DNA sequence: CCCCAGGTCGTCA
DNA sequence: TGACGACATGGG
Protein backbone atom coordinates (compact mmCIF):
# COMPACT_ATOMS: atom_id res chain seq x y z
CA UNK A 1 0.00 0.00 0.00
CA UNK A 2 1.48 3.31 -1.00
CA UNK A 3 1.71 6.32 1.27
CA UNK A 4 1.78 10.01 0.58
CA UNK A 5 5.00 11.93 1.08
CA UNK A 6 5.27 15.56 1.98
CA UNK A 7 8.56 16.97 3.17
CA UNK A 8 9.98 20.48 3.24
CA UNK A 9 13.52 21.61 3.87
CA UNK A 10 15.34 24.90 3.85
CA UNK A 11 18.73 24.44 2.35
CA UNK A 12 21.20 26.26 0.20
CA UNK A 13 23.13 24.81 -2.73
CA UNK A 14 20.00 23.16 -4.06
CA UNK A 15 18.68 24.04 -7.50
CA UNK A 16 16.49 21.37 -9.13
CA UNK A 17 17.53 22.34 -12.62
CA UNK A 18 21.23 22.11 -11.78
CA UNK A 19 20.78 18.80 -10.00
CA UNK A 20 18.66 17.08 -12.61
CA UNK A 21 20.13 18.54 -15.81
CA UNK A 22 23.80 18.26 -14.98
CA UNK A 23 24.09 14.80 -16.49
CA UNK A 24 24.31 12.59 -13.44
CA UNK A 25 20.81 11.08 -13.63
CA UNK A 26 18.38 10.01 -16.32
CA UNK A 27 14.97 9.49 -14.77
CA UNK A 28 13.84 13.01 -13.86
CA UNK A 29 11.65 15.18 -16.07
CA UNK A 30 10.63 18.80 -15.84
CA UNK A 31 7.04 19.97 -16.00
CA UNK A 32 5.72 23.34 -14.97
CA UNK A 33 8.65 24.50 -12.91
CA UNK A 34 9.17 21.28 -10.99
CA UNK A 35 10.79 17.90 -11.56
CA UNK A 36 9.24 14.47 -11.14
CA UNK A 37 11.13 11.23 -11.05
CA UNK A 38 11.53 7.88 -9.38
CA UNK A 39 14.25 6.34 -7.26
CA UNK A 40 14.10 3.24 -5.10
CA UNK A 41 10.34 2.82 -4.55
CA UNK A 42 9.71 6.53 -4.27
CA UNK A 43 7.97 8.60 -6.91
CA UNK A 44 8.77 12.19 -6.12
CA UNK A 45 8.04 15.72 -7.24
CA UNK A 46 10.65 18.32 -6.36
CA UNK A 47 9.83 21.98 -6.35
CA UNK A 48 11.70 25.03 -5.15
CA UNK A 49 9.88 28.04 -3.74
CA UNK A 50 12.19 30.83 -2.67
CA UNK A 51 14.76 28.96 -0.60
CA UNK A 52 12.37 26.20 0.40
CA UNK A 53 12.53 22.78 -1.21
CA UNK A 54 9.28 20.86 -1.33
CA UNK A 55 9.25 17.11 -1.83
CA UNK A 56 5.92 15.46 -2.50
CA UNK A 57 5.08 12.03 -3.83
CA UNK A 58 4.27 8.47 -2.94
CA UNK A 59 6.19 5.54 -1.53
CA UNK A 60 5.75 1.99 -0.34
CA UNK A 61 8.37 2.20 2.37
CA UNK A 62 8.39 3.61 5.89
CA UNK A 63 11.57 5.62 5.78
CA UNK A 64 10.98 7.89 2.82
CA UNK A 65 12.30 11.03 4.51
CA UNK A 66 15.56 9.32 5.40
CA UNK A 67 15.87 8.03 1.87
CA UNK A 68 15.24 11.49 0.46
CA UNK A 69 17.88 13.04 2.70
CA UNK A 70 20.35 10.40 1.64
CA UNK A 71 19.48 10.53 -2.07
CA UNK A 72 19.84 14.30 -2.29
CA UNK A 73 22.97 14.28 -0.15
CA UNK A 74 21.33 16.80 2.16
CA UNK A 75 23.73 16.31 5.04
CA UNK A 76 26.75 17.51 3.11
CA UNK A 77 27.99 21.10 3.14
CA UNK A 78 28.36 22.00 -0.52
CA UNK A 79 29.11 25.64 0.18
CA UNK A 80 32.41 24.87 1.82
CA UNK A 81 33.41 22.56 -1.02
CA UNK A 82 32.52 25.19 -3.61
CA UNK A 83 34.47 27.80 -1.72
CA UNK A 84 37.46 25.54 -1.60
CA UNK A 85 37.25 24.61 -5.28
CA UNK A 86 36.74 28.18 -6.45
CA UNK A 87 40.09 29.10 -4.95
CA UNK A 88 41.93 26.92 -7.45
CA UNK A 89 41.48 29.37 -10.30
CA UNK A 90 39.14 31.75 -12.09
CA UNK A 91 37.67 29.07 -14.34
CA UNK A 92 36.65 26.93 -11.43
CA UNK A 93 35.17 29.94 -9.69
CA UNK A 94 32.98 30.67 -12.70
CA UNK A 95 32.01 27.03 -13.08
CA UNK A 96 30.96 26.64 -9.45
CA UNK A 97 28.92 29.81 -9.68
CA UNK A 98 27.24 28.61 -12.84
CA UNK A 99 26.30 25.26 -11.33
CA UNK A 100 25.98 26.47 -7.77
CA UNK A 101 22.83 24.45 -7.14
CA UNK A 102 24.37 21.12 -8.06
CA UNK A 103 24.24 18.24 -5.62
CA UNK A 104 25.64 14.83 -6.41
CA UNK A 105 22.88 12.32 -5.85
CA UNK A 106 23.34 9.06 -4.00
CA UNK A 107 21.83 6.85 -6.67
CA UNK A 108 21.28 3.14 -6.38
CA UNK A 109 24.49 1.32 -7.28
CA UNK A 110 22.90 -1.24 -9.57
CA UNK A 111 20.86 1.36 -11.43
CA UNK A 112 23.94 3.53 -11.85
CA UNK A 113 26.00 0.67 -13.23
CA UNK A 114 23.41 -0.24 -15.85
CA UNK A 115 22.61 3.38 -16.71
CA UNK A 116 26.22 4.25 -17.42
CA UNK A 117 26.86 1.09 -19.41
CA UNK A 118 24.01 2.31 -21.59
CA UNK A 119 25.57 5.77 -21.74
CA UNK A 120 28.61 4.59 -23.72
CA UNK A 121 28.90 6.43 -27.03
CA UNK A 122 25.33 7.61 -26.63
CA UNK A 123 23.52 10.88 -26.05
CA UNK A 124 21.50 11.87 -23.01
CA UNK A 125 17.99 11.99 -24.55
CA UNK A 126 18.47 8.53 -26.01
CA UNK A 127 19.94 7.16 -22.80
CA UNK A 128 16.85 8.39 -20.95
CA UNK A 129 14.56 6.72 -23.48
CA UNK A 130 16.29 3.37 -23.21
CA UNK A 131 16.24 3.41 -19.41
CA UNK A 132 12.56 4.32 -19.44
CA UNK A 133 11.69 1.44 -21.78
CA UNK A 134 13.81 -0.96 -19.75
CA UNK A 135 11.99 0.06 -16.56
CA UNK A 136 8.54 -0.08 -18.16
CA UNK A 137 9.17 -3.58 -19.36
CA UNK A 138 10.89 -5.13 -16.35
CA UNK A 139 10.31 -2.83 -13.38
CA UNK A 140 7.36 -2.55 -11.01
CA UNK A 141 4.57 -0.01 -11.59
CA UNK A 142 3.80 2.70 -9.05
CA UNK A 143 0.87 5.05 -9.56
CA UNK A 144 1.22 8.73 -8.83
CA UNK A 145 -0.86 11.67 -9.90
CA UNK A 146 -2.73 9.72 -12.58
CA UNK A 147 0.44 8.44 -14.13
CA UNK A 148 2.30 5.17 -13.92
CA UNK A 149 5.96 5.18 -12.99
CA UNK A 150 8.22 2.14 -13.03
CA UNK A 151 10.95 1.16 -10.62
CA UNK A 152 14.33 0.38 -12.06
CA UNK A 153 14.56 -3.40 -12.59
CA UNK A 154 16.63 -5.40 -10.12
CA UNK A 155 19.19 -8.00 -11.25
CA UNK A 156 16.62 -10.63 -10.32
CA UNK A 157 13.99 -9.01 -12.53
CA UNK A 158 16.41 -9.08 -15.45
CA UNK A 159 17.41 -12.69 -14.86
CA UNK A 160 15.68 -14.21 -17.89
CA UNK A 161 16.08 -11.36 -20.36
CA UNK A 162 17.80 -12.36 -23.59
CA UNK A 163 20.23 -10.33 -25.67
CA UNK A 164 17.57 -9.94 -28.38
CA UNK A 165 15.15 -8.48 -25.85
CA UNK A 166 17.64 -5.75 -25.02
CA UNK A 167 18.20 -5.10 -28.68
CA UNK A 168 14.48 -4.52 -29.19
CA UNK A 169 14.57 -1.80 -26.55
CA UNK A 170 17.05 0.11 -28.70
CA UNK A 171 20.20 -0.71 -26.79
CA UNK A 172 22.21 -1.24 -29.94
CA UNK A 173 25.60 -2.87 -29.51
CA UNK A 174 25.38 -2.51 -25.73
CA UNK A 175 22.90 -5.38 -25.55
CA UNK A 176 25.59 -8.00 -24.92
CA UNK A 177 27.25 -5.84 -22.25
CA UNK A 178 24.05 -5.54 -20.32
CA UNK A 179 23.34 -9.23 -20.64
CA UNK A 180 26.79 -10.22 -19.41
CA UNK A 181 26.82 -7.82 -16.48
CA UNK A 182 23.37 -8.94 -15.33
CA UNK A 183 24.57 -12.52 -15.52
CA UNK A 184 27.74 -11.84 -13.54
CA UNK A 185 25.79 -10.29 -10.70
CA UNK A 186 23.07 -12.94 -10.67
CA UNK A 187 25.60 -15.77 -10.78
CA UNK A 188 27.47 -14.38 -7.83
CA UNK A 189 30.57 -13.80 -9.93
CA UNK A 190 30.40 -10.14 -8.93
CA UNK A 191 29.41 -8.86 -5.48
CA UNK A 192 27.94 -5.37 -5.46
CA UNK A 193 27.97 -5.09 -1.67
CA UNK A 194 31.69 -5.58 -1.39
CA UNK A 195 32.41 -2.37 -3.27
CA UNK A 196 31.27 -0.19 -0.38
CA UNK A 197 34.11 -1.26 1.89
CA UNK A 198 36.87 -0.95 -0.66
CA UNK A 199 39.14 2.03 -1.16
CA UNK A 200 38.33 3.96 -4.32
CA UNK A 201 41.15 2.52 -6.37
CA UNK A 202 40.26 -1.07 -5.52
CA UNK A 203 36.57 -0.50 -6.17
CA UNK A 204 37.55 1.02 -9.52
CA UNK A 205 39.59 -2.04 -10.49
CA UNK A 206 36.73 -4.27 -9.43
CA UNK A 207 34.19 -2.36 -11.53
CA UNK A 208 36.38 -2.75 -14.61
CA UNK A 209 35.67 -6.48 -14.47
CA UNK A 210 32.07 -5.85 -15.46
CA UNK A 211 31.19 -6.10 -19.12
CA UNK A 212 30.78 -2.69 -20.69
CA UNK A 213 32.52 -0.91 -17.84
CA UNK A 214 35.73 0.89 -18.80
CA UNK A 215 37.60 3.73 -17.10
CA UNK A 216 35.04 6.44 -17.75
CA UNK A 217 31.98 4.43 -16.80
CA UNK A 218 33.68 3.05 -13.69
CA UNK A 219 34.44 6.57 -12.52
CA UNK A 220 30.87 7.71 -13.18
CA UNK A 221 29.60 4.80 -11.09
CA UNK A 222 31.96 5.68 -8.25
CA UNK A 223 30.91 9.33 -8.34
CA UNK A 224 27.18 9.21 -9.05
CA UNK A 225 26.09 6.12 -7.12
CA UNK A 226 25.79 5.76 -3.37
CA UNK A 227 29.41 4.65 -3.38
CA UNK A 228 29.84 8.43 -3.46
CA UNK A 229 33.51 8.89 -4.19
CA UNK A 230 34.62 12.43 -5.01
CA UNK A 231 38.22 11.42 -5.70
CA UNK A 232 37.55 10.32 -9.27
CA UNK A 233 37.51 12.26 -12.54
CA UNK A 234 35.37 10.76 -15.31
CA UNK A 235 36.74 11.87 -18.68
CA UNK A 236 34.29 12.05 -21.56
CA UNK A 237 34.33 14.15 -24.71
CA UNK A 238 33.03 17.24 -22.87
CA UNK A 239 35.46 17.07 -19.99
CA UNK A 240 38.29 16.48 -22.43
CA UNK A 241 37.12 19.55 -24.33
CA UNK A 242 36.89 21.84 -21.35
CA UNK A 243 40.17 20.74 -19.78
CA UNK A 244 41.97 21.13 -23.08
CA UNK A 245 40.44 24.55 -23.73
CA UNK A 246 41.30 25.86 -20.28
CA UNK A 247 44.57 24.25 -19.34
CA UNK A 248 46.27 22.32 -22.12
CA UNK A 249 45.36 24.20 -25.30
CA UNK A 250 46.38 21.45 -27.68
CA UNK A 251 45.25 22.25 -31.23
CA UNK A 252 44.14 18.66 -31.66
CA UNK A 253 41.93 17.81 -28.74
CA UNK A 254 41.96 14.12 -29.57
CA UNK A 255 45.70 13.93 -29.07
CA UNK A 256 45.43 14.86 -25.42
CA UNK A 257 46.09 11.84 -23.27
CA UNK A 258 43.76 10.87 -20.46
CA UNK A 259 46.73 10.58 -18.14
CA UNK A 260 47.55 14.25 -18.77
CA UNK A 261 44.00 15.26 -17.93
CA UNK A 262 44.02 13.09 -14.83
CA UNK A 263 47.24 14.69 -13.69
CA UNK A 264 45.74 18.16 -13.93
CA UNK A 265 42.68 16.99 -12.00
CA UNK A 266 44.84 15.54 -9.23
CA UNK A 267 46.98 18.64 -8.92
CA UNK A 268 44.25 21.25 -9.16
CA UNK A 269 41.21 19.66 -7.57
CA UNK A 270 42.56 16.88 -5.37
CA UNK A 271 40.03 14.93 -3.37
CA UNK A 272 37.08 16.93 -4.69
CA UNK A 273 37.96 16.41 -8.34
CA UNK A 274 34.72 14.48 -8.95
CA UNK A 275 32.66 17.48 -8.02
CA UNK A 276 34.99 19.79 -9.94
CA UNK A 277 34.48 17.61 -12.97
CA UNK A 278 30.73 17.96 -12.65
CA UNK A 279 30.78 21.75 -12.40
CA UNK A 280 33.05 21.89 -15.45
CA UNK A 281 30.98 19.40 -17.43
CA UNK A 282 27.71 21.20 -16.72
CA UNK A 283 29.17 24.61 -17.44
CA UNK A 284 30.83 23.59 -20.70
CA UNK A 285 27.91 21.57 -21.99
CA UNK A 286 25.27 24.21 -21.32
CA UNK A 287 27.30 27.15 -22.56
CA UNK A 288 28.84 26.32 -25.89
CA UNK A 289 31.06 29.36 -25.83
CA UNK A 290 33.25 28.18 -28.64
C1' DC B 1 25.43 11.98 -47.50
C1' DC B 2 27.95 13.44 -43.41
C1' DC B 3 29.04 13.84 -38.12
C1' DC B 4 28.16 13.13 -33.27
C1' DA B 5 26.77 11.25 -28.63
C1' DG B 6 28.81 11.19 -20.62
C1' DG B 7 33.15 4.67 -24.57
C1' DT B 8 34.34 -0.14 -24.51
C1' DC B 9 36.24 -4.15 -26.57
C1' DG B 10 39.25 -6.91 -29.30
C1' DT B 11 43.33 -6.89 -31.81
C1' DC B 12 47.86 -5.81 -33.10
C1' DA B 13 52.22 -3.70 -32.54
C1' DT C 1 50.98 0.86 -22.71
C1' DG C 2 49.06 3.00 -27.26
C1' DA C 3 46.55 3.19 -31.50
C1' DC C 4 42.65 1.96 -34.28
C1' DG C 5 38.27 0.26 -36.12
C1' DA C 6 33.75 -1.77 -35.04
C1' DC C 7 29.87 -1.45 -32.67
C1' DA C 8 23.49 0.33 -33.15
C1' DT C 9 20.65 4.09 -33.02
C1' DG C 10 18.60 8.56 -33.65
C1' DG C 11 19.17 13.56 -34.23
C1' DG C 12 21.27 17.58 -36.52
CATH number at residue A18: 3.30.310.40
Helices (H), chain A: 16-21, 64-71, 78-86, 90-98, 109-118, 124-138, 163-168, 175-186, 200-207, 215-224, 237-243, 258-269, 273-286
Do A184 and A260 fall within a single domain?
Answer: no
A119-141 tens-digit pLDDT: 999 999 999 999 999 999 999 99
Residue range A193-246, pLDDT digits in tens: 999 999 999 999 999 999 999 999 999 999 999 999 999 999 999 999 999 999
Proximity of residue A64 CB to strand B below 7 A: no
> Which domain-ending residue is among A180, A202, A224?
A224
Rounded distance, CA A174 to CA A278, Å?
25
Residue A130, CA: closest nucleotide via C1'? C9
Number of domains present in the structure of chain A: 3
Asked if the Cβ of residue A131 lies within 7 A of any atom of strand B, the reply is no
Q: For nucleotide C2, give the residue with the nearest CA to its C1'.
A: A257
**What pLDDT does residue A214 have?**
98
Residue nearest to nucleotide B9 (CA to C1'): A212
Helix, coil or strand: residue A30:
strand
Name the average pLDDT for chain A.
Answer: 96
Nucleic strand B near CB of residue A221 (< 7 Å): no
| Residue range(s) defining the domain that contains residue A83 | 77-106+232-290
A101 and A142 inside one domain: no
Say yes or no to pLDDT of A53 above 80: yes
Please, is A12 exposed, middle or buried when counting C-beta atoms within 10 Å of its C-beta (0-12, 13-18, 19+)? exposed
**Are A92 and A186 in the same domain?**
no
Q: Within 7 Å: CB of A239 and strand B?
A: yes
Q: Is the CB of A244 under 7 A from strand B?
A: no
A69 vs A73, A157, A279, CA distance in Å?
6, 27, 22
Residues A89 and A142 occupy one common structural domain: no
CATH number at residue A140: 1.10.340.30
Pair (A116, A202) in one structural domain: yes
A49 and A63 assigned to the same domain: yes
Question: How distant is C1' of C8 from CA of A175, in Å?
Answer: 10
Lookup: nucleotide whose C1' is closest to A175 CA: C8
| Nearest nucleotide over every DNA/RNA strand to the A255 CA, judged by C1' | C3
Distance A166 CA to C7 C1' (A): 15
Is A85 in contact with A269 (CB distance < 8 Å)?
Answer: yes
Same domain, A69 and A89: no
Residue that is last in its domain, among A191, A208, A224: A224
Phi and psi torsions of A196, nearest 5°: -65, -30
Question: Residue A258 CA to nucleotide B9 C1', Å?
Answer: 18
Residue A1, pLDDT score: 73
**Is pTM beyond 0.85 here?**
yes
Shared-domain flag, residues A251 and A192: no
Q: Which CATH number covers residue A243?
A: 1.10.1670.10
Same domain? For A65 and A82 the reply is: no
Please check whether residues A150 and A211 belong to one and the same domain: yes
pLDDT score at A2: 86
Question: Average pLDDT, stretch A30-59?
Answer: 97
One domain, residues A205 and A242: no
Amino acid sequence: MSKEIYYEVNTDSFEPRDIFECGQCFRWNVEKNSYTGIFDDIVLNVKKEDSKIIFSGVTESDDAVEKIRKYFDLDRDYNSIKTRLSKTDKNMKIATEYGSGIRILNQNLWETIISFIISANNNIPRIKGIIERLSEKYGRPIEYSNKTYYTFPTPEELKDVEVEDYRKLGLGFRDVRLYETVKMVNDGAFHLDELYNKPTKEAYEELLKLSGVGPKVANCILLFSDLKRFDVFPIDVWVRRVINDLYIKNENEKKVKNSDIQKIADEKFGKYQGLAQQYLFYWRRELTWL
